[in-house]
Amino acid sequence: MAAKTNSDDTDSQFYLTADTFFPRHANTGLTFDDVTLATQFSQILPRDTVLDTRLAENLELHLPIISADMDTVTEHAMAIAMALKGGLGLIHYNMTEKQQLKEVSRVKNHVHGLIQEPITVTADLSVSNVLELIEEQRYTFSTFPVVDEAGNLTGLLSGSVVKPRYADRRVGDAAIPRASVHAVTEKELEPDPIRVADQFFTDHPGINKLLVVDDADHLKGLFTLSDVERIALEKSAQFKPARDGEFRLLCGAAVSASRTQSGELARERITAHVGTLLERGVDAVAVSTAHGHTQGVGDTVKLIRDAFPALPIIAGNVTSAVGVEYLADCGANSIKVGQGPGSICTTRIVAGVGIPQLTALYVAAKGASAKGVTIIADGGVTKSGDIVKALTLSNAVICGGLLAGCQESPGDIVEISGKRYKQYRGMGSLAAMKAGSAARYGHSAKDATRKIAAEGVEALKEVSGSVDSVLTQLTGGIQSGLGYLGAANLAELHDKARYLRISAASQHESKPHNVIEVKAGN
């Protein structure tokens, strides 16, 4: 090992470890844009970095990103997309318990590569009707299963006849009849659906779709050749889907510290719901409130821990070491950190509380280290560089706004001046609290219909494409950050991070400046 040089001393004076940097700025709350990370000697290429993270003994992700338990961010489609990229989706609780169970089931029953609700047509339509449907919905495919009113498979409309020259033909006359359509039953797919589908396409060259039916010939889904070929490469992929021991996609669900009409913790209701979630295969529950360092949250975590000793529990939100320690003592495995940093959160303005996120993460990390639990940075992330900074102190990040514009989010789409947006709202907004999230902010359902102070806003996010494309961009940025610091994984990132506080002018310098930015293709 080389001797320490004067240059090393110079660097160590300016670029500080977390335990030196943050205490030196103990009287100043710092967030992501207030700080930059110093590069280190590196032998690590970004593509070789590993982003695996373990949040609990039974909860390991291949990508340290979790979609927020918000009603305009995470339902089954988002949770599926997150797990397929190696992350985790937290199904929100702004719905009935029955609905939440259904959402979890749809994730856990998802067969990778099987399109479970394919777009279908009926025999009475014309090819002209189908062409109009493709144009209206902007479909990128033109082959459709044909079903009757009962959902029975009656044929397959090939893309080869979905052309203007055949516009006047009935779908029933133009489609391949059922007797000539290749299909397999759900039972025939067991125990490895992808292997079965892959072998089918090998045995039937020229066929690009495999339909799946039940014993009564009801259409249950379809495989495409392109999807199966892509999935077959999964074993060699760097980022694998997040799966449980039974090869099902991981899924989390948020639960409320709900109370009875008398104000007591609704113990039986909570334990019954969590028990049913476990029966459906849920991999983690999150006791999610704006203020996690409270008796109600602590009692809820204790209740769940006592009833389900092995269940990974995420709890929050807190911004203090003692808050982390409290929830850890109650039985939480991973603690959410963040109060007020979200783009649609107004807690700091309305209530006058909250800690800038990077300072909060450092303080919380000290508490987590003492208790042997993990922490999750929740809020304030607007770009991949923020995620890198957050991961120097935490084990994962929760994203809301970054994912709210994706096609997999449940928000409604609106069009304004030719641009398409998705509705995005804070769970502390009046609309969200009236829909069911009032308990998150310490109000009862009765309070939600009265005059209460909202701690979030309703907003719009420009439609941003698929979760896959967004996460690909974020992942690339995270890997670049690790490469600059010479960190092969997140543990090394924690060790090698060196911090420097920057000025407003430095913040300006960090972004594109003194240029007119254009988009490729314009």
Q: How many Cβ atoms are within 10 Å of 182's Cβ, its own excluded?
A: 13
Catalytic status, residue 450: no
| Helix/strand/coil percentages in the chain, nearest 5 | 40, 20, 40
Q: How many Cβ atoms are within 10 Å of 26's Cβ, its own excluded?
A: 10
| Preceding peptide of 152 cis, ω within 30° | no
Catalytic status, residue 399: no
Q: How far is CA 475 from CA 213, 383, 396, in A?
A: 37, 11, 13
| Per annotation, catalytic residue among 106, 259, 440, 498 | 440
| Per annotation, catalytic residue among 251, 330, 345, 406 | 345
Maximum C-alpha span of the chain: 84
Q: How many Cβ atoms are within 10 Å of 268's Cβ, its own excluded?
A: 10
Alpha carbon distance 446, 456 (integer Å): 19
35: left (phi over 0), alpha (psi -120 to 50) or beta: beta
Going by their DSSP bridges, the two strands 144-147 and 153-157 should be labelled as antiparallel
Alpha carbon distance 404, 470 (integer Å): 11
Strands (E), 150-190: 153-157, 176-177, 183-185
Residue 466, both tokens: 């698929």
Burial class (CB in 10 A: 0-12, 13-18, 19+), 351: middle
User: Measured in Å, how far apart are the chain's first and last C-alpha atoms?
Assistant: 53
Q: How far is CA 113 from CA 14, 80, 138, 247, in A?
A: 51, 11, 21, 13
Alpha carbon distance 49, 344 (integer Å): 33
Which residues on neighbouring strands pair with residue 374, listed in sequence order? 334
Helix runs in 372-519, H state only: 384-391, 401-404, 430-432, 467-484, 490-496, 504-509
Residue 144, both tokens: 């459709």
CA atoms within 13 A on the CB side of 155: 14
Catalytic residues: 345, 440
